Amino acid sequence: MSNPLLETYKTPFGTVPFEEIKEEHFLPALETAIKEGLAEVDAIAQNSAPPTFSNVIEALEEAGEQVERISTVFFNLNSAETNETIQKLAREISPKLTNYGNDILLNEALFKRVKIVWEQKDTFSLTTEQALLLEKTYNSFTRNGANLSEANKQRLRKLDEEIAQHSLQFGENLLAATNDFKMFCTEEEVAGLPEGVKEGAFHDAEEAGEKGKYLITLHMPSYLPFMTYAQNRALREKLFKAYGSKAYADEKYDNREHVLAIARLRHERAQLLGFETHAHFVLAERMAKSPQKVNFFLEELKGPAMPAAKKDLEELKNFAADTDQLKELQKWDTAYYAEKLKQARYEIDDELLKPYFEVKSVINGAFTVAKKLYGITFEERQDIQKYHPDVITYEVKDQAGKHLAVFYADFFPRKGKRNGAWMTIYRQQKMQNGQDLRPHVSIVCNFTKPTAKTPSLLTFNEVLTLFHEFGHALHGIMAKGTYASLSGTNVYWDFVELPSQIMENWCYEKECLYLFAKHYQTGEPLPEEYIERLRKSATFMEGRATARQLSFATLDLSWHAQDPSEITDVGAHEAAVFKPFSLLPAVHGTNMSCQFGHIFQGGYSAGYYSYKWAEVLDADAFELFKEKGIFNATVAQAFKKLLEAGGTVPPDELYRQFRGQDPDPKALLRRAGLIEENG
């Protein structure tokens, strides 16, 4: 049987032939690729020629390309278009890939040659990029047990397998628990919901066999509007508790044992490698460098954030008491009353703004911003294969009209797609045989679906999300490196959010909004008074929002910056961590850790602080755009160089090249309204 995954893709730009790939192709293709990859690695290890940067480090960079290509397609599908078969395959494929990685990183003959190149690096006249690749390669071996005894190497292999399996099961439980919950409501019970949301819920109920009802789920486009607008407080409570208890103390999908296991196994792994904790291990390759520095950073933000959060909450309590004589504000009330207070104070809300943010207009607006900043264009292509009909495919061209990248956009929720929004890459940019191999980049979101009557209209937060993920995409699209592992978004984890978060700033600027924010029925531009209200409301409840992010970052460190072996009760541990941040009564039966996919399934373990860290960078960076003009060509060209560089230059140095100085932490506090402008 021919296997398209093992053949050269005869598609436009060598894109993935999704329509030709079947589920049964993955396992045999990967097994073949692993065998070939190990043979390539063995040839490098057994080479009788003296070790050089070229015959060891560069050769290793190219080895196993098939494994990378196939596993990337598979795991992207497991996130965006999964099913029971793919999930079953993931449980089989994951340990094979873990073993494959360990077979390389624990290969003594190979490490011996890598070590010789490392020790003789001063004799090779390496460029900055080559020196970084050598350092990254050498560290990948030492950080994965190359210096360990044979017994400890075997233990490391076992730990990696167990972590991978627990992480996979964590994700499957979370997705299943999210999909399992269905709340069918009557017309009266959805009072307060916007018409577009009601229409979608009515259609979803009909599809689920409950004609005449409204279906509310735990997927964000359903959950968030209900918590924000539904007048029925009892149902808001029910939905909040269902969302908060996902995969926690759940008979079918309980993640408590996986949380405890992952934390303990990571700690043991870090200690085996000579690090105090998993956080020390992770942060050694971050801008922050140590848990102590991260804690100092979080405390620095917590100082002004907590008083502001308390003030925000007092306002909310008083408003709820005055409006509805509410005696005690609960967590299922905050989104509802915050929205009402925002409307009262700024006369702005999502329903007022949504008609101006039709999804196609917003993505075209993002494209226009990219063109004005970097001269690039996006053209929709019908001849690029997709993994689902919802996906839209584009060719990206540079200023001269030359091919730059392929871009996939996947906007709407469905059963096989995990919650949230993310950017991913199907092919990294790199130089291959003297040619610039251009990247294939994708963004995946979960926005409100179009209905029979209404196109997909985005909330302002969804507009921010789209621009955020598009910023990640630009980082991948603009890549201009020699080696795939240093290209595009392959940068330090606490630097990777800068290109995404800075893009959100344009969404508040009149000059940007006029490019795309037009009423989907009349074509009228977003009124200037709405933009002013939007800008004024930008820091609304920012104290609470900052405190929330700080609590999540602190929870992350609580699992990873200490020995977790004494933790036996996930709920009690989390309650203790959250106590200094708690401004409302805790809700029994809810738990964040068991659904904290960022740290137990994604790559953010000991790294959730990086969202706030990168906010400092993006606030400071955007101050330069504000000062010179948000589409200033000189500043845009300087930032373009930062995007193109990816991981080929150390991030601190790269930022200074752009900004001319180190980032100012007060820039974030100023933007958030947590200190005075001149504070």
Q: Which residues are catalytic?
A: 469
User: Residue 460 in contact with residue 530, Cβ under 8 Å?
Assistant: no
Pairing of strands 403-410, 430-432: unpaired
**Residue 411 is which amino acid?**
F
User: Residue 217 in contact with residue 181, Cβ under 8 Å?
Assistant: yes
Closest CA to 9 of 48, 54, 65: 65
Q: What is the DSSP letter of 564?
A: G
Measure the CA–CA gap between 525 and 518, rounded to whole angstroms.
4
Q: Where are the alpha helices (DSSP H) in 516-602?
A: 528-536, 542-560, 570-578, 597-600
Residue 513: which residues within 8 A CB-CB, separation 6 or more? Answer: 507, 526, 531
**Residue 277 is which amino acid?**
T
Chain center to CA of 586? 28
- Category of 386 on φ-ψ map: left (φ > 0), alpha (ψ -120 to 50) or beta: beta
The SS3 of residue 489 is coil
The SS3 of residue 424 is strand
Q: What are phi and psi of 216, to 5 degrees?
A: -115, 130
Please count the CA atoms within 13 angstroms of the CA of 114 that sit on its side-chain side: 27
The DSSP line for 118-175 is: HHTGGGS---HHHHHHHHHHHHHHHTTTTTS-HHHHHHHHHHHHHHHHHHHHHHHHHH
Measure the CA–CA gap between 193 and 517, rounded to whole angstroms.
23
* Distance linking the first and last C-alpha atoms of the chain: 68
Closest CA to 86 of 76, 101, 95: 76
Residue 203: which residues within 8 A CB-CB, separation 6 or more? Answer: 451, 452
User: Any idea how long the chain is?
Assistant: 679
- SS3 letters for 11-56? CHHHCCCHHHCCHHHHHHHHHHHHHHHHHHHHHHHCCCCCCCHHHH
The DSSP line for 311-368 is: HHHHHHHHHHHHHH--SS--TTTHHHHHHHHHHHHHS--HHHHGGG-BHHHHHHHHHH
The SS3 of residue 393 is strand
Largest CA distance in the chain: 82
User: Residue 615 in contact with residue 502, Cβ under 8 Å?
Assistant: no
Q: What are phi and psi of 250, to 5 degrees?
A: -105, 130
